[in-house]
A and B are shown apart, each in its own frame.
Chain A
Amino acid sequence: MSFDAAFQNQNFKSVGTRPLRPDGVDKVTGRARYGADFNMPGQLVARVLRSPHAHARIVAIDTARAAAVKGVKAVITAADLPDLSNGDKALFNILDNCMARTKAMYDGHAVAAVAAIDEKAAKQAMKLIDVEYEVLPHVVDVDAATEPDAPILNDAVFTTGIDPAPTTASNVANRSEFGHGDVEAGFADADVIVERSYRTEQTHQGYIEPHACVASCNPDGTADLWVCTQGHFVFRQNCADLLGLEVSKLRVTSSEIGGGFGGKTHVWAEPVALALSRKAGRPVKLVMSRDEVFRASGPTSATSIDVKIGATKDGKITAATATLRYSNGPYADIWAELGAMTSFACYDLKNVKTVGFEVLVNRPKVAAYRAPSAPMAAFAVESAIDELAQKIGMDALDLRIRNAASEGTRSSYGPVYGPIGIGPTLEAAQAHPHMTAPLGTNQGRGMACGFWFNFGGQTCTDLNVNADGTVTLAVGTVDVGGSRASLSLVAAEELGIDYQDVKAVVADTGTLGYNDMTDGSRGTFSSSMATISAARNAIAVMRQRAALTWDIPVEDVYWEDGHAKAAGAKYGNLAPLSVKEIAAESGNTGGPIAGHSELVADGAGVSFATHICDVEVDPETGATSVIRYTVIQDAGKAVHPAYVEGQYQGGAAQGIGWALNEEYIYGEDGRLQNPGFLDYRIPVCSDLPMIDTQILEIPNPNHPYGVRGVGETSIVPPLAAIANAVSNAVGVRMSHIPMSPPRILAALSRQKGE
């Protein structure tokens, strides 16, 4: 059935309220089942042996002694995961990352795995796997990897995106470029130019739940996988491809997910668990340790970014450029490209150019992390904007407003914007009492803007009207933070029934059509669109049933306030039929009532935010505390405002950690020094103030309710907002994230020495 996704201004009854989430009781009583909370009869315990070297050729692996350990049921190496990629480079990279084939590319890269009857036997077997390594020179630093004498990670990688094509291998996998106008001419028109280089260190999503799965390859050729994932359909496809299974024979169930933030969009250990199960002939449970999560899942890029911005004295930006080098880990991806696309997306620029370089290093494969690549670019650009304002002698907020993009602006990455929220968030910031609150000694205030594209994608939803008139909604996007509540609200709204009468569940891959990964802030956006569509389809069925009941033409039945109503005076004596009444008769009117929806959710509206923060810096120790923080972001329409606020607050908190203390620290030996929550320092409760939020609602024209994704943008501004606040507090421009106490104190010492 055709579906009109256009925004229709309407008064909401359910959407915009704050009911209790349907999975709340399970989660406060310990009954909710996460990745590690599922068990199968006869299941084995898996452990993965990982490379202690940053870069090493695997000369030989002997598993005989390990396999002989009592209780060990399977030992596998890359040989047990044959290459079925058939020229698909992306698939090969996934395979190689799951289990190193010829070379270990980073500290923590899997080289073998064991399945045994218990932890003790598995641990013993791990020690008896003999791996002969030829240690190779390594490089972990994003800039060092681009030097001419850097060790080359992959002889088959030649930089793409440059003309003529190079003839020597390089750690720079790709060059991408975006922009328009003539930047040289623009800089010539500038009265003031700011030019600076920035660095950000590698961070991890830091979800509290380690990757976990239970895999069972069955004697009949079918297989089951229980796993914490952001996209069980994509995991099914990846695992089926890597193991040579037919997609229909692998059923993947997504458990409750203990945080993902992009980090659970990639398969890591799941194909390994399936391969172990296939070899052992028994179910296998594989749970990563925290150490493994840090060393061998997918952190975000470390970056090195050069920014140049020119403006006239009255604050009009005349030209802007950015060169962005992003570490990718050992496999080429599009992280710098995303950074290059987002860099200047907040602004209306006549002349702009951004260039991204994907850099291969001996670190774990980079994965998505909440608005991937945007926070680092925003850090560099928004720091430079602040510095530019200071140089011009203009208020930084006024400068941003002066140059903000608006409807009709051609974005720096190409598309022309529809109605967008950057201007309104800036104006809301200007009016916010936070901007004018007094500051104390050693305190500083900073602000910054952020942008994220948002995605839509393939989505499938089933809506079943039960005989008692309640509704079961089966969705294929994963509930990462309250989406079952939001989607139930949407179903209730569209059908005109109570929220309490809708129960949303996340369906497994065997019971629903394909859904893309729950990423790109698409969960509520796209599944709500599919839910509306499914509900409208169910309403069409219910109108038919009412027509049948009344014996009138269906064209004369309309839907209003949760009831089928007969149109026109001639049916004046027909009492409206409620969902419950129609459902109760469904057995006599044509059987079960359901609405299905399959669609590609296009038109995810772009998202903008403006953050304001106050910090206090101890000038003697360099310690920074965030003392006030405000998030202002456009939600399009906040379906469940409490969980929208939660997304704003959570993203800000992750950004605060990134700005101040989180970083991957590598030793000279190329090994990760801090693979644990003790020394990978995410914010703790006492580190943060309350995080104030202001939700703006600028409707997305491409969604019936105006919804935009809200999950990611909130992590984009904090790095810059805090850097600007710290710089304002101490009078030194901080250009290296994280601004850990030693870095701040060293900057202060350098300033004193000058």
Chain B
Amino acid sequence: MRYERPETIVQATHLLAEADSNAFVLAGGTDLLVKMQSDGFEADLVVDIKSIAGMGDVVEADDTFVIGAGVPCAALGENDALVAAWPGVVEAANLIGSTQIQGRCTVVGNLCNASPAADSVPALVAAGAKAKIAGLGGTRMADVLDIPTGPGKTSLKKGEIVEAIVLDKPLARSGDAYLRFIPRTEMDIAVVGVGINLVLDEGGAVQSARIALGAVGPTVILAEDAAQALVGSKLEETALDVMAAACSAASHPIDDKRGTVEFRKQIAGVLARRAARIAFDRAGGN
């Protein structure tokens, strides 16, 4: 195995593009090094991107937050402006693993690892986050929603690196939230995760909603019917019932060691109700 620590994104993309096979980006390493422990896994090249300028920064501009690919999730929770703007995204990022994992893991890594159960991804999708992707031909932007294409698979092309996540500044009267279910209080992979972002109209009713479900399908699911059920409501019980049922219906989970199909579908609705109330509250609804 070869270890490279390029100092520019161009060098990094070239290293990856020119690698024969089994080349991986190393940011926090909390997924990659776990894989490296297993006998069946081979890495020929690891490209550590943390020495590239800007990778470790959260940059607040007039209308965006740009989160570098090397920023550990713990640092997101220490960024007061980001916490105030996107509390749901930060909470989701801060739910990944332990304190020790938080010191290393990144939202970009969480996204590119393409686990169906990634905590930060539903929150990012609900927030309408975009990924800034560097490649040999320059950079491009893509919706976070479009990055994972299946368990462990992404739409990234050879040589491409997600160098940052870009979040727009939230709209007025908006709020987001993320909840997940795990059997313990910490250290588990999400059995179900729900990210919700609500924007209210001047009268305090839901003007628009985005609901994203994690761990209930091969990739994150944008539950549009469920979101639609909230529009025009002030989260009355009837609207929440319809929304919860739509979340359950949109879920296509599997039975595995972490939960059953039946359980996951039911919990998707339960968490969506709870997350919607939090987001509504944060948006200033009452």
Contact = CB atoms under 8 A, between A and B. Distances in A.
A392 B258 CA distance: 39
Contacts of B263: 622, 741-742, 745-746
B186 A684 contact: yes
B257 A684 contact: no
A625 B186 CA distance: 13
Given A126-B39, A745-B266, A686 B186 contact: yes
B191 to A, nearest CB: 8
Given A126-B39, A746-B263, A679 B258 contact: yes
A623 B274 CA distance: 15
B181 interface: yes
B259 A742 contact: yes
Contacts of B259: 741-742
B187 A678 contact: yes
A371 to B, nearest CB: 24
Interface string A120-140: 000100110000000000000
Interface string B174-202: 00000001011111110100000000000
Interface residues of A, number: 28
Interface string A624-657: 0100000000000000000000000000000000
Contacts of A665: 257
Interface in B149-172: none
Q: Which of A677, A679, A683 has the most CB of B within 10 A?
A: A679
B113 to A, nearest CB: 14
Contacts of B183: 623, 660-661, 681, 740-741
Nearest to B255: A742
Interface string A715-754: 0000000000000000000000000111001100100000
B39 A123 contact: yes
A621 B181 CA distance: 8
Contact of A661 (B184, B256, B266): B184
A551 interface: no
A673 B257 CA distance: 7
A126 B259 CA distance: 34
Nearest to A290: B37
B119 to A, nearest CB: 14
Interface string B235-273: 000000000000000000000111110110011001000
Nearest to A661: B183
A677 B259 CA distance: 17
Nearest to A126: B39
A620 B270 contact: yes
A147 interface: no
Contacts of B186: 684, 686-687
Contacts of B187: 677-678, 681, 684
A293 to B, nearest CB: 14
A615 B178 CA distance: 26
B253 to A, nearest CB: 12
Contacts of A674: 257
A661 B185 CA distance: 11
A687 B184 contact: yes
Q: Which of B189, B191, B257 has the most CB of A within 10 A?
A: B257
Contacts of A677: 187
A742 B267 CA distance: 10
A681 B184 CA distance: 7
Contact of B267 (A127, A621, A681, A684): A621
Interface string B15-42: 0000000000000000000000101000
A686 B185 contact: yes
A656 to B, nearest CB: 11
A368 to B, nearest CB: 26
B17 to A, nearest CB: 28
8 contacts: A123-B39, A678-B187, A679-B189, A681-B184, A681-B187, A681-B188, A684-B185, A686-B186
Given A625-B185, A745-B263, 8 more contacts: A126-B39, A289-B37, A660-B183, A686-B185, A741-B259, A746-B262, A746-B263, A749-B266
Which 4 A-B pairs give the minimum distances between C-beta atoms?
A742-B263, A686-B185, A673-B257, A665-B257
